[in-house]
């Protein structure tokens, strides 16, 4: 769905690249996470893929279209949810969706249905300017689904949302992905990436350091251990066991069978820990 080869971009058109020699491919139906701290080159890459920034150097195809010469009809297949909510504040939520729906050449979804999906049912007649930040964000997210996109760009889709709404948004992303929608997710939130992405790319200072699935990364960088907290003769004990060592495995089975288990956690690494390990940088 997306092919990027040797992509470079410089805002000042000099050797100070915001993105340098970036290459990756995203097959149809994948949720691809583009992870990195602020200023890493995530938005620049996404800007080039969506045609907001002109391609300077490299080869990029999006939904079968060469980004060098963008055809407007490409946008019938693309949806984009921006990090910063960008809706017409003087228009109602429904007017916003109805207006954008008319700009597409493909059948579009019912604005009322979309508002309901993102939890804005009954708010269609309220001007977007009167919405809270989170509501505007949800409206921006709903707008990105108007044209039933095959390729969906999501820039920090859950930022600023309360956990319940964030969970709804994650559910929608999963549901759309199950229908075959390809998702390009830009975020610095590793938990969301871990939960949603089939593969993730770590980008720092315009360079991609690594591309792999969260599962593989955890196996490679995590520790194969389990931490158990259990009661032993009225005393609370904590022990760590290897899931690979036969002796540890036997001892763990024995504790599970005989003791009163309080908590038990695998000691796999989080994506954030792996990111720090691989890039030497924190996600700020």
Nearest residue (CB) to another protein, 89 versus 167: 89
CA-nearest of 276, 283, 151, 284 to 210 is: 276
The rounded radius of gyration (Å) of the Cα atoms in the chain is 22
Residue 187, both tokens:
């975020």
Name which of residues 238 to 277 contact another protein (CB under 8 A). none
- Shortest gap between Cβ of 114 and another protein (angstroms)? 15
Interface with another protein (CB under 8 A), residue total: 36
Rule CB under 8 A: say whether 40 interacts with another protein: no
279 phi/psi in degrees, rounded to 5: -100, -15
Rule CB under 8 A: say whether 23 interacts with another protein: no
CA 275 to chain CA centroid, Å, is: 15
CA-nearest of 49, 43, 41 to 20 is: 41
Residue 201, both tokens:
């790319």
CA-nearest of 185, 91, 87 to 136 is: 87
Name which of residues 108 to 167 contact another protein (CB under 8 A). 127, 140, 143
Which residue in 6, 52, 64, 236 binds another protein (CB under 8 A)?
Answer: 52
Rule CB under 8 A: say whether 236 interacts with another protein: no
Nearest residue (CB) to another protein, 53 versus 255: 53
* Stretch of 66-74, 228-236, 239-247, 269-277 lying at the interface with another protein (CB under 8 A): 66-74
- Shortest gap between Cβ of 19 and another protein (angstroms)? 11
Which residue in 6, 23, 54, 216 binds another protein (CB under 8 A)?
Answer: 54
Which residue in 30, 34, 44, 252 binds another protein (CB under 8 A)?
Answer: 44
Say how far apart CA 46 and CA 84 lie, in whole Å: 14
Name which of residues 74 to 103 contact another protein (CB under 8 A). 74-76, 78-80, 82, 84-91, 95, 99-100, 102-103
Nearest residue (CB) to another protein, 102 versus 125: 102
Residues of the shown chain interacting with another protein in the complex, contacts defined by CB under 8 A: 43-44, 46-47, 50-54, 72-76, 78-80, 82, 84-91, 95, 99-100, 102-105, 127, 140, 143
């Amino acid at each position: 769905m997306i092919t990027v080869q040797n992509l470079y971009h410089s805002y000042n058109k000099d050797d100070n690249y915001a993105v340098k020699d970036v290459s990756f491919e995203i097959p149809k139906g994948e949720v691809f996470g583009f992870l990195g701290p602020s200023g890493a080159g995530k938005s620049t890459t996404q800007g080039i893929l969506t045609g907001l920034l002109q391609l300077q150097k490299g080869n990029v195809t999006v939904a079968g279209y060469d980004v060098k010469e963008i055809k407007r009809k490409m946008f019938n297949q693309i949806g984009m949810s921006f990090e910063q909510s960008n809706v017409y504040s003087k228009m109602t939520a429904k007017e916003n969706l109805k207006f954008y729906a008319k700009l597409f050449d493909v059948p579009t979804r019912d604005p009322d249905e979309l508002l309901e999906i993102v939890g804005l049912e009954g708010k269609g007649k309220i001007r977007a300017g009167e919405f809270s930040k989170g509501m505007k964000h949800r409206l921006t997210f709903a707008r990105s689904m108007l044209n039933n996109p095959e390729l969906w760009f999501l820039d920090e889709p859950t930022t600023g949302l309360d956990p319940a709404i964030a969970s709804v948004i994650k559910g929608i992303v999963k549901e759309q992905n199950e229908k075959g929608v390809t998702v390009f997710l830009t975020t610095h939130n590793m938990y969301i990436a871990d939960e949603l992405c089939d593969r993730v790319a770590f980008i720092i200072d315009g360079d991609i350091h690594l591309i792999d699935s969260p599962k593989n990364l955890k196996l490679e960088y995590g520790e194969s251990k389990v931490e158990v907290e259990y009661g032993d003769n009225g005393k609370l004990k904590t022990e760590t066991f290897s899931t690979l060592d036969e002796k540890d495995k036997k001892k763990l089975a024995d504790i599970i069978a005989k003791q009163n288990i309080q908590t038990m956690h695998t000691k796999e690494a989080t994506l954030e820990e792996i990111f720090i390990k691989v890039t030497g940088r924190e996600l700020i």
